[in-house]
Amino acid sequence: MKVLGQWDLLTVAGGRDQKLAAIAGAQRGRVARRQLLAVGITASMIQTMLVHRWLHRLHPGVYAVGHLAPIPWGNETAALLACPRGGLLSHESAAELWRIRPPQPSAPIHVTVTTHQIRRAGIRIHRSRALRPRDIRVREQLPVTAPARTLLDIAPDLSARELERALDEALVRRIVRLDEIAEILGRASGIRGAARLGSLIERHPGSTFTRSQAEERFLGLVRSAGLPEPLLNVRVEGFEVDFFWPGHRLVVEVDGYAYHATRSAFEHDRAKGSKLAAAGIATARVTWLQMEHEPYAVTARIAQALVRAEPRQTGA
Domain assignment present for 266: yes
pLDDT tens readout for residues 52-95? 999 999 999 999 998 989 899 999 999 999 998 889 999 999 99
d(CA 170, CA 82): 29
Contact predicate 201/178, CB 8 Å: yes
- In a shared domain, residues 217 and 156: no
- In a shared domain, residues 243 and 280: yes
Residue 246: what pLDDT? 93
Which residues are within 8 A (CB) of 280 and not within 5 positions of it... i.e. 6 or more apart?
Answer: 249
Range of weakest confidence among 12-16, 54-58, 189-193, 250-254: 12-16
- In a shared domain, residues 170 and 258: no
- Whether the pLDDT of residue 100 is over 90: the answer is yes
Span 179-201, mean pLDDT?
86
Q: What is the CATH number of the domain that holds 227?
A: 3.40.960.10
- Whether the pLDDT of residue 109 is over 90: the answer is yes
- In a shared domain, residues 124 and 190: yes
- In a shared domain, residues 99 and 170: yes
Final residue belonging to a domain, choices 31, 51, 71: 71
Residue 264: what pLDDT? 45
- In a shared domain, residues 94 and 167: yes
Domain assignment present for 297: yes
Domain assignment present for 207: no
- Whether the pLDDT of residue 2 is over 70: the answer is no
Final residue belonging to a domain, choices 23, 50, 71: 71
Confidence of residue 12 (pLDDT cuts 50, 70, 90): low
Span 130-159, mean pLDDT?
93
- In a shared domain, residues 91 and 178: yes
End-to-end CA distance of the chain: 57
- In a shared domain, residues 174 and 104: yes
Domain assignment present for 25: yes
How far is CA 174 from each of CA 134, 178, 310, rounded to the nearest angstrom?
A: 17, 10, 35
- In a shared domain, residues 224 and 269: yes
**DSSP character string of the chain:** ---TTGGGGS---SSHHHHHHHHHHHTTTEEEHHHHHHTT--HHHHHHHHHTTSEEEEETTEEEES-----TTHHHHHHHHHSPTT-EE-HHHHHHHTTSS---TTSPEEEEESS----BTTEEEEE-S---GGGEEEETTEEEE-HHHHHHHHGGGS-HHHHHHHHHHHHHTTS--HHHHHHHHTT-TT-TTHHHHHHHHHT--S----SSHHHHHHHHHHHHTTPPPPEEEEEETTEEEEEEEGGGTEEEEEE-HHHH-SHHHHHHHHHHHHHHHHTT-EEEEEEHHHHHH-HHHHHHHHHHHHHHSPPPPPP-
Q: Is 295 buried (19+), middle (13-18) or exposed (0-12) by CB count in 10 A?
A: middle
Q: What is the mean pLDDT of the chain?
A: 85
Count of the separate structural domains present in the chain:
3
Rg (CA), the chain: 26
Domain assignment present for 97: yes
Final residue belonging to a domain, choices 202, 233, 264: 202
- In a shared domain, residues 111 and 141: yes
Residue 314: what pLDDT? 45
Domain that holds residue 28: 6-71
Domain assignment present for 78: no
Q: Are strands 109-113 and 231-236 parallel, antiparallel or unpaired?
A: unpaired
Percent of the chain with pLDDT over 90: 49
Confidence of residue 205 (pLDDT cuts 50, 70, 90): low
- In a shared domain, residues 181 and 237: no
Q: Which neighbouring-strand residues pair with 303?
A: none
- In a shared domain, residues 58 and 128: no
**Count of residues in the chain:** 316
